[in-house]
Structure 1
């Protein structure tokens, strides 16, 4: 039998794998699909057109798949998609998308969301990220893989944060953050490369040196942003493929940035 507590309210139309656990007083709406091994804690509400992957763990009082907090929302069908092996602690709120964007909020795999984290409509979160308590994303934000958002950090609408960036406590972001950059403050300021995080993830000396030099070209050389892009491309061509790929990640992010970067 499906391990659903007797006080939980699971709509008959919801699609739950037989191994999904649902705790006391949880509420699961009719358009929810949940894959094997996922645990739903007590008093969790999962609603909307929400798809959840395998082996996730939702702690009590989270609200998942609610309508977007957007005055333009008119009841359209939009979506929330959550991958595998995510940890969602108490009182987190993840909203569905809007038709003004792609209509979907997407969260990847192996992420940690600590208490009171908010993921607004149309956000995209990659894999292996950590959101500490009270970190919050406004709508349409894109978060790369391995990003760390410290407690009480907040991100403005449409901003992008590149892979392996580290955002310090109480940081307020209104511009994009390139990959690998460590920053903090209000307003935010860059403070170098997230070297400790990169070392923990197995980056070798050549890759670390390339990333550090790419940071210097972007932030310390006195070049304009357009000049820095050219310099990054020239530097990239001198490196072996593994190191060059990291510089390429930085350069491509700068090319795609629409709000300008924290600099």
Structure 2
């Protein structure tokens, strides 16, 4: 394969498409699979049961597929699965899953992941996200589509981030971040909704009005979470175009444990 630098060490059992390029001094293990069009930079280590999709750009000095930082891990064949068209910048560390969860750490498609990002075991990242430098995710974190993490964001284990949510730089999340919500602080507090991001993604004024009403119910009317959910459910009647957004918010809130709660 002419795309593999002569100093790279690619195990003969690894499955790389003939169009994959591999930079100098990169090491690729026997259980790795890489699909067409993906480029891998210099000095990377890709190991474990790792599957990488098409047209990804993996820059130099990344560690992908190492065992989880979990004392209970005992060598089980857990996985790291990365989708298509992702950009993974320098010095990122993505670990495989653990047998205590699904056994898979998963990254979707079209994500922009900047330098020094850590994805611990069993994280599940959606599509079209942006993780700024030094974003750090503990184990079992779930990140929805179109989420933006500001630089140095730190997310506690088992926390969920809903679609279109956003964190400011140096945010610290101990609770679930609902869809559309922008947060900031240590610990993070809700500041607003991601209205500008929604406009850029083609949301109509009526859908954005419904998101504003959801924000009001959650954070401005001194309601309990159950009362806010009831108020939000009513919005689908007045804003039928926003029914999918309302359902997404209700599904997220229903999945939030009382012990963890949501960012307030």
TM-score (norm 1): 0.98
Give the distance between the partners of 1:202 and 1:135, measured in 2 at CA. Answer: 27
Matched with 1:260 is: 261
- Structure 2: distance between partners of 1:239 and 1:157: 35
- SS of 1:210's equivalent? helix
- The CA deviation string for residues 93-139 of structure 1, in whole angstroms up to 9 with x for no partner, is 00000000010001000001100000000000000000000001000
Q: Displacement, 1:237?
A: 2.6
Asked whether the equivalents of residues 2 and 20 of structure 1 are also in contact (C-alpha less than 8 Å), the reply is: no
Query: C-alpha distance in 2, partners of 1:155/1:161?
Result: 9
After TM superposition, which residue ranges in structure 1, 4 or more long, deviate above 4 angstroms? Answer: none
CA distance in 2, matches of 1:120, 1:175: 17
Identify unmatched segments of 5+ residues in structure 2. none
Q: Which position in structure 2 is the counterpart of 1:93?
A: 93
Cα separation, 2, equivalents of 1:82 and 1:208: 32
Q: CA deviation at 1:219?
A: 0.9
Matches within 5 A, 1:1-263: 1-240=1-240, 242-258=241-257, 259-263=260-264
Number of aligned residues = 262
Give the TM-score normalised by structure 2. 0.98
What's the offset of the Cα at 1:2? 3.6
User: Displacement, 1:243?
Assistant: 1.1
Q: Which runs of 5+ in 1 are unaligned?
A: none
Q: C-alpha distance in 2, partners of 1:253/1:237?
A: 19
Q: Secondary structure at the match of 2:190?
A: strand
Judge conservation of contact 2:207–2:239 (CA < 8 Å) in 1. Answer: no
Structure 2 distance, partners of 1:238, 1:16, is 52
Partner of 2:243: helix, strand, or coil? helix
